[in-house]
Amino acid sequence: MSRFVPFVAMAAIALSGTAARGVRAAEASCDSIAVQISAGRKAGDVERLPPLLAQAREIKTGCAERALLCLGRSVTLAYVEKAYALADAGKSSDQIEAILNRARGFSSPWPLLALQGDIEFDRAAAGDKEAYDKAAADYEAALNDLHEERICAGYAEPADPPAAQIARIVKRTSEAKLLAGTFQLTRTRDGECGGVFLTKIRDFEPKSTPLPIEFEFDSATFTEKGKQAAQALLECAGQEKFARIKLTGHTDMQGDDAYNMDLSARRLAAVRDYLIQAGYRGQIELVPLGKREPFQLDDPGQHSQAEIDQLNRRVELREASK
């Protein structure tokens, strides 16, 4: 299993127990259940936590919606911590994944999603190419969760990850989406463009957005996946009310430089024409680069040459302004 950068050491929950409101003394209050979940999490006793969470969801405990959401995230994070402990102990990836799959039934905070993305990415790199789609979905969901307002700070939520860690997730997301078999536009909780189209994630601002706007061999005709990606670019540029965008075009390393510069120019022109015909009214700057800026891989040995070529063939949204 790929070792995901440790997100943070979790802090203990700082909640005080209060008397149960309007219920018998023998019945647990929301606060007392939160304290028990905190204790079980600190002890690494994850099997104790789901029944406590189920108890918190009973109306008589008085748990508000926000408290239930945060308790669910806390239980999930306990399982993530357990997964890391199993990995450190040399347990099998199947055992670790079983723990994470159980955790996902309670909530989906970004540490869980990013770790599951890593597992799916490794599975895809080992030969199960359909897992790139799953990895992309998990990574984008992790970015969306990082993008959302933090409302569970009092429940031992992980601190904001460093910019380098967010950058790693962003890059892995782009890599998975470029290699996935299909393109899906991920949306935030509010229905806006999310995932790779997020312009700011906590304090991190991506410098570019690589998109799998793919074309048929030796042509400027979109593949089905390429058209889906172009449609997403159109929708998100319109939603953000971008008055100007800058697109760069990239090819693989096959053929001479002049041929690839011409091919990337023709393909960028096809993207521009599509956007304009579909209703985009902003300015579009096109910068064909051919094979001059290949995709920067952290581990080239993890991919076949065909995959490296696929990563190199892309369109990037480099600049956008309102």
| pLDDT computed for residue 12 by the predictor | 29
| pLDDT computed for residue 6 by the predictor | 39
Same domain, residue pair 280 and 228: yes
> How many CB atoms are closer than 10 A to CB 243?
12
Same domain, residue pair 93 and 132: no
Same domain, residue pair 101 and 115: no
Q: Taking all residues of the chain, what is their mean pLDDT, rounded to a whole number? A: 90
Statement: residue 2 has pLDDT above 50: no
Same domain, residue pair 212 and 302: yes
Statement: residue 18 has pLDDT above 80: no
Same domain, residue pair 100 and 112: no
Contacts for 262 with CB less than 8 Å, ≥ 6 apart: 288
Same domain, residue pair 239 and 167: no
Same domain, residue pair 221 and 267: yes
Statement: residue 3 has pLDDT above 60: no
Greater confidence (18 vs 173) lies with 173
Same domain, residue pair 191 and 291: no
Give me the percent of the chain exceeding a pLDDT of 90.
Answer: 84
| pLDDT computed for residue 93 by the predictor | 84
Same domain, residue pair 137 and 196: yes
pLDDT band for position 322 (cuts 50, 70, 90): confident
Statement: residue 4 has pLDDT above 60: no
**What pTM, to 2 d.p., does this model score?**
0.89
Mean pLDDT of 241-250: 96
Same domain, residue pair 118 and 41: no
Same domain, residue pair 179 and 228: no
pLDDT band for position 60 (cuts 50, 70, 90): confident
Looking at the 3D structure of the chain, how many domains does it have? 3
Give the DSSP letter of residue 181. S
C-alpha distances (whole Å) from 309 to each of 120, 162, 189, 216, 295 are 21, 31, 34, 14, 9
Q: Which domain-ending residue is among 105, 134, 166?
A: 105
Look-up of token digits 């905190």: 38
Tell me the per-residue pLDDT of 158-168, one tens digit each, with 9 for 90 and over: 888 999 999 99
Mean pLDDT of 131-146: 98
Statement: residue 27 has pLDDT above 70: no
Mean pLDDT of 302-308: 95
pLDDT band for position 38 (cuts 50, 70, 90): very high
278-302 in b/e burial notation, b at 16+ Cβ within 10 A?
Answer: eebebebebebbbbeebbeeeeeeb
Same domain, residue pair 135 and 228: no
Nearest to 263 by CA among 273, 274, 279, 250: 250
| pLDDT computed for residue 59 by the predictor | 77
CATH number at residue 297: 3.30.1330.60
Domain interval for residue 293: 208-322
Q: Which domain-ending residue is among 206, 224, 239?
A: 206
